Chains A and B, each alone.
Chain A
Amino acid sequence: MPPVAAARPRLVVAGAWAAFAVLLGLFPVVFTNPTVTTIGVFTLVYMTAAVAWNSFAGYSGYVALGHAVFFGTGAYTMALVSTHWNFAAGYTMFALVPAGGVVAALMAIPFGLIALRTRRHTFVVITIAVFFVVQLLAFNLGFTQGSSGVQVPTPTWGATQYNNSFYYVTLGVLAFALAISAAIRRSRFGLQLLAIRDDEDRARGLGVKVQRVKLLSFMVSAVPVGMVGAIYAFFIGQIFPQFAFDPLFDVTVALMAFFGGLGTLSGPLLGALVLEPIQQYLTLQYSVGSVYLVIYGALFLLVILVMPRGIVPTLAERVAARRERTQAARLVGEDPGVPPVVDVGSPVGASR
């Protein structure tokens, strides 16, 4: 991979993030239509999940297709705890969101201990296998109430405010997931993950405790996914094993990260931001006939073939190439005056 010549001022990047945050914050104020805000909530849920998934899979190179386990765990934590302890269906319910994250992280321990012994293809398949085992457990264990599902208390607040509370709580979890992902990238821990991605045996040889690092990263990535799972259960109001543990979730989240740019901070965010509204829109538009499956699949193929590395790395490269050309044309031998800054959009590790 050629190094991306990044010379974007830090201020512009910070400004872009701030503008993005403001836009997301203002969204439900501008668009009050419940159909639109519902899509907004789902989009935030997937953005969070994609960012979290990427903080493990994107950095370590282990393509996991089992994060629906954490999503479902979070959803069931919310549903079961709130019904068994008769939670009042108000804002206190959101106190269970972190609990969903914690239980998902605990779930990641046995899952990771089994799956992370294997590599590459085998790892992909074993995550799928573990996923199906867990889904079957949800169907068949007594306390999950099987295929009849679990009813979650319905929120007490009014219809006009209904979506907004979910929206802002999910936005908070998204900020949390982004903070984790950014912190990992800047840390020694993140470098160890990247070393594992590039060459695991060499990383081990150089003293990286690979199993411990991988497992910890796997657990950390489970937390935000479990949290949005909990929000999802409360938002939907009723959960069933096949929707809480949905094989499509596994693939969708991975797809979003690939689509935006695997291993980048903003890529998964962008991937989910583009794909989830399209999916929701197509599902609403063509609820009968599965046309949306065809359109979605075709779109997906197109992007993979046109931008195989994802939107963010491809665009970052083009922008950098153009800037280099213009700079070269303008000045020869003069100090550019702008210190090279690590590009937010560049793949991790590629810029150094």
Chain B
Amino acid sequence: MGTSIVEAIIDGILTGGVYALMAAGLTLIFGVMDIINIAQGIFVVLGAYLSYALSVHAGIDPFLGLLITIPALFVIGLGVEWGFIRRLREGDRTAMSILVTYAVSIIIEGVLNMTFSVNYVQIHAWYVNRSVHILGFYLADIYLFGFAMAAVLLVALYALLYRTRFGASVRAALQDRTAARLVGIDVRRVSTVSFGIGVAVTAAGGMIFGATNAFNASSSYDLISRLLAIVILGGLGSMGGALLSAVFMLVLEDVVAVVWSPIWATAVFFAALVVVLSVRPAGFFGRQVARAQ
């Protein structure tokens, strides 16, 4: 029992890293643009399917394939922002963004169902079903690789946001769109690129998701509800919060699955959100807004 709990914690941290990456994209989009991207779930699945197609039809290793899928999703993100999000009026952007991205989501779901059918698939590679034996624990290679990749990309994202001029303008837009515009930042361009980046990270997350789970297009519902729970728990717009709560939630879920039952693990996941929010309505690191409406 003791060993399996420790193993569950390690697994939770490793998968939590991947979820952190996907959630960071969602929270970035929210922070900069004040919109909720419901399509984030289907973008993850789209990323998974792209990696799957590349590895099945072209024999490209999923990790190598990221060089294609990440730019592809970046461009799709730019297109969605330019085509739909930017056309929303200021007043009710948030509510309308939920509807627009949901519409985008069901269109992609339909296209994916037509292209790949609704049968579950999984990405295969030599490391998918292997595991290493370290200090008495069995750790799946794919989890380790996924965690490493997520860590690299998160560091890259951090460097982009905190070490570049572009990052400074993103953070300015994150704090206050109007003020950012006043000091000469092209907020529209920053928004478009941020949306692209926020979507692009799902390609990497999706690849790991597709290698560790059998998936089809409707897996997106489960994904988006988890990702939303993670970013809300961390505090909308807070990157650090997203990281922490992703790891916290996934560890909690894995431990509950071992200690109690896998059936209730998901319920505990959402119950944790409810409990935390009743104590801290803005999440772990959310900015308390004086006048929220």
Contacts and interface: CB of A to CB of B under 8 A. Distances in A.
Contact of A132 (B89, B113, B266, B292): B266
Contact of B281 (A122, A200, A247, A251): A122
A118 B98 CA distance: 18
Interface stretch (B139-147, B197-205, B272-280): B272-280
A117 B95 CA distance: 19
Contacts of B278: 114, 117
Interface in A29-58: none
Interface in B55-95: 84, 87-89, 94-95
Given A121-B36, A290-B110, A293-B109, 6 more contacts: A128-B228, A247-B221, A255-B102, A290-B109, A297-B104, A297-B107
B114 interface: yes
A130 interface: yes
Nearest to B291: A201
Contact of A301 (B95, B103, B263, B282): B103
Interface in A235-260: 247, 251, 254-255, 258
A122 B281 CA distance: 8
Which of the four size classes fits the interface of chain B? 35 or more
Which of the four size classes fits the interface of chain A? 35 or more
Contacts of A118: 277, 281
B281 to A, nearest CB: 5
Contacts of A125: 36, 228-229, 232
A289 interface: yes
Nearest to A62: B293
A298 interface: yes
A247 B114 CA distance: 21
24 contacts: A117-B277, A121-B232, A122-B236, A122-B277, A122-B286, A126-B273, A129-B274, A132-B267, A133-B267, A133-B271, A140-B263, A200-B293, A247-B225, A258-B99, A289-B113, A291-B110, A293-B110, A297-B103, A297-B107, A301-B103, A304-B100, A304-B103, A305-B84, A308-B88
A273 B131 CA distance: 55
Contacts of A290: 109-110, 113-114, 118, 217
B8 to A, nearest CB: 20
Interface string A265-297: 000000000000000000000000111111011
Given A114-B278, A117-B277, A122-B236, A297 B99 contact: no
Given A121-B36, A300-B99, A129 B107 contact: no
Given A129-B274, A289-B114, A301-B103, A308 B89 contact: yes
A21 interface: no
B278 to A, nearest CB: 6
A137 interface: yes
A63 B99 CA distance: 11
A136 interface: yes
A122 B232 contact: yes
Contacts of B266: 132, 136
A136 to B, nearest CB: 4
A72 interface: no
Contacts of B221: 247
A255 B103 CA distance: 10
A297 B110 contact: yes
B277 A126 contact: yes
Contact of B267 (A124, A140, A251, A258): A140
Interface of A: 61, 63, 65, 114, 117-122, 124-126, 128-130, 132-133, 136-137, 139-140, 199-201, 247, 251, 254-255, 258, 289-294, 296-298, 300-301, 304-305, 308
Nearest to B265: A136
B96 A308 contact: yes
A257 to B, nearest CB: 10
A258 B95 CA distance: 10
B95 to A, nearest CB: 5
B111 interface: yes
B229 A129 contact: yes
B110 A136 contact: no
Interface string B111-123: 1011000100000
Contacts of B281: 117-119, 122
Contacts of B138: none
Given A122-B281, A199-B293, A251 B109 contact: no
A132 B99 contact: no
Contacts of B264: 136, 140
A294 B105 CA distance: 9
Contact of B99 (A255, A291, A292): A255
B166 interface: no
**Which of B88, B95, B228, B282: most chain A Cβ within 10 A?**
B95
Contacts of B277: 114, 117-118, 122, 126
Contacts of B271: 133
Nearest to A118: B281
A255 B102 CA distance: 10
B293 A296 contact: no
A119 B292 contact: yes
A320 B17 CA distance: 56
B30 interface: yes
Contacts of B30: 121
A61 B293 CA distance: 10
A293 B94 CA distance: 23
Nearest to B91: A1
A107 to B, nearest CB: 15
A63 B107 contact: no
Contacts of A199: 291, 293
